[in-house]
Structures are given as C-alpha cells and as structure tokens.
Amino acid sequence: MLRTAIRSHANLSLQTAQISKRFMSAPAPKNIDHIKRVGVIGSGQMGLGIAYVAANVSRLPVTLMDISKEQTDKGLKFMDRLLEKDVAKEKITAEHAKGTRELVTAANSLSALSDVDIVIEAASENLNVKSAIFRDLDAICKSDAILATNTSSISITKIAAATKKAEQVIGMHFMNPVPVMKLVEVIPGLATADNVLQDTLALAQTMGKTTTVAQDIPGFVANRLLMPYINEAVMLLEGGVASAKDIDTTMKLGTNMPMGPLTLADFIGLDTCLAIQKVLHENTGDSKYRPSVLLQKYVDAGWYGKKSGRGFYSYNK
C-alpha cells in the first residue's frame, strides 16, 4: 500500500511538472492579428488603466464597460487628463492622443461586449462577483473570445468553473498604476488552452508590458510575496513597535525600497489588501497569512488609503 501511495504521489508530481512545463516553456507569438477589439469590465483605476494602454499603446479599439454611467464618465475624464499630461510631456503627439480617445467607447451593459475578441475583467476582488460576471460573459461573448480576469489572488480555475468554456479563461494580473508599471502576471487555470495563454502573453507585450507566467495558486507570485510583507508592517504598527513614518523610512532607506510598505498599502487600497489577505488565509489555511486586526479595523472605518483620503496617512489636502 505504501509503495502504491508513493507511486501515485510520484505520478501526480510528474503531471504537475508537465503542466508547469507546458505553460512556462512555449514562446509568445509575435503578433495578435486575430485580436481586433478589447473589452474591459470596470472603469475604476485598474480598468481605466487597462483600457488606456490597450488603446494608447496597442492601438486597439476598446469597449470600456461599467454598470454605472457616472463611473464610466468619470473614467473617461480621467483618461483625458492622462492623455493631456502625456502630450504636455511630449511623450505622444496631440494627434496620437486624439486617436487614442477615439478608440475608446463606453458602455453600461455586458451585451456591448458580444463582438470583442478578449474581455479583461477588473471588477471587485470577490469570487461571487467575478463568477456572476463570467457566467454572463459565457452566454454573451463569441465562442472563441478570451475571458481574462485581472484578479490579484483568486483562483482562475474557480472563476472558470462559472463558464462552459474553461479553456478560454485566464488570469491577466496588471500592476497598479497600469500605465506606469511594466509587469503583467499571466496565470493559466487548470483547463486553459495553450493558444489562449500565448495570445494573452502576446497582447500584454503589445501593450508594452513584460510578462511572467505563474501557476494558479492563491496570490500567484506578486501578492504571495507582497501581502505578507505589508501585513507584517501593519502588525508592527499595531504593536507599537514604531510609527508609520519610521516603519516606511526604515524600509526605504534601509533596504532601498522605492516606497515604504504602509505608503504602498495606502496606494493599493487597504480594502484591496485585506481582500487579498483573506483569500490567502482562507485558501492556504496557513496562519502566517492571517490579516492584522488593525488592517481590518481601518477598512471597517472606511479608511481605505489614498482613494478615500485617509489610510495610514492623511490625503485630504
């Protein structure tokens, strides 16, 4: 029995290694000629940033969808400001900026995404919300459309289970702020097809991004490393070990980080940090991922960081 168990474990390890090799060794194609239109769900900071680089860098038509017209109007105004800044800094011409803006159209219904070749969902970091969206996309989108999620921690395989075409579902984790950060973490689910992975990598690269591929584990690579680091900083603050400013200064000047962990948490959003920590804790069962009490308390108070005007620092001015 022991020999059988050992053999079974070895076979499972070999299968896992083969899946990993299949996804991590194939080179990305040089073009994405069959991707003609991009859909983005969510016109908040992440969704707007994704739409911006798809139109401004890849020069692809984008349908920016959000159920709130107020939110899409707000997002497009922010895009106008981004374009104005890039023109002022002579990064792009006024003609290029005008062309970028004309490539982006707003919509307030998922039905507007019926003709896109890839949808990139950037809604709340909540499995139930994402599953509901993907269930609807499954019925609305073309059979060969790629269904990508910008989740930063939730299982791609779980999200794909809400559809009847799990082979078309993939993770496309952009970093915040999208126009500035160079990385896109690409995460295939258990059933993701090879061509979907390759097309997703190629699309990210046309957006001017460097890509990495991670397996479908809680938090993937970026947040599996980043969130415990931030959480430990919050615990130090909670325990009175040092002030927020001194914790951040220690990491900036002592370890050459571009910004301290608490400042970074404020920029990410404390609600987002908490949601990711909970996913890590619940899905691994490991106590080292337990969110700090203080982080939960700040979120309960509505202190989400920079976007709400207050987090570990005040941004009211």
Q: Is residue 152 flagged as an active site residue?
A: yes
d(CA 130, CA 52): 22
Phi, psi of 174 (to 5 degrees): -80, 155
Q: Which of 153, 185, 281, 292 is catalytic?
A: 185
Q: Which of 223, 231, 292, 308 is catalytic?
A: 223
Phi, psi of 121 (to 5 degrees): -85, 130
238 is in an annotated binding site: no
Look at the block and give the residue holding tokens 């994405």. Answer: 32
Q: Which of 58, 152, 155, 308 is catalytic?
A: 152
Q: Is residue 243 flagged as an active site residue?
A: no
The three-point CA angle 199-57-51 to 5° equals 75
Contacts for 298 with CB less than 8 Å, ≥ 6 apart: 270, 304, 311, 312
Q: Which of 153, 173, 231, 292 is catalytic?
A: 173
77 is in an annotated binding site: no
Q: Is residue 56 flagged as an active site residue?
A: no
142 is in an annotated binding site: no
44 is in an annotated binding site: yes
46 is in an annotated binding site: yes
Q: Is residue 155 flagged as an active site residue?
A: no
43 is in an annotated binding site: yes
302 is in an annotated binding site: no
Q: Quick check: 245 and 259 in contact, CB under 8 A?
A: no
167 is in an annotated binding site: no
By C-alpha distance, which of 125, 121, 171, 155 is closest to 141? 121
The SS3 of residue 66 is coil
Q: How many CB atoms lie within 10 A of CB 111?
A: 11
d(CA 217, CA 182): 22
Binding residues for NAD(+): 42-47, 66, 125, 130, 152, 176, 307
Annotated binding residues, written as ranges, equal: 42-47, 66, 125, 130, 152, 176, 307
Q: Which residues are catalytic?
A: 152, 173, 185, 223
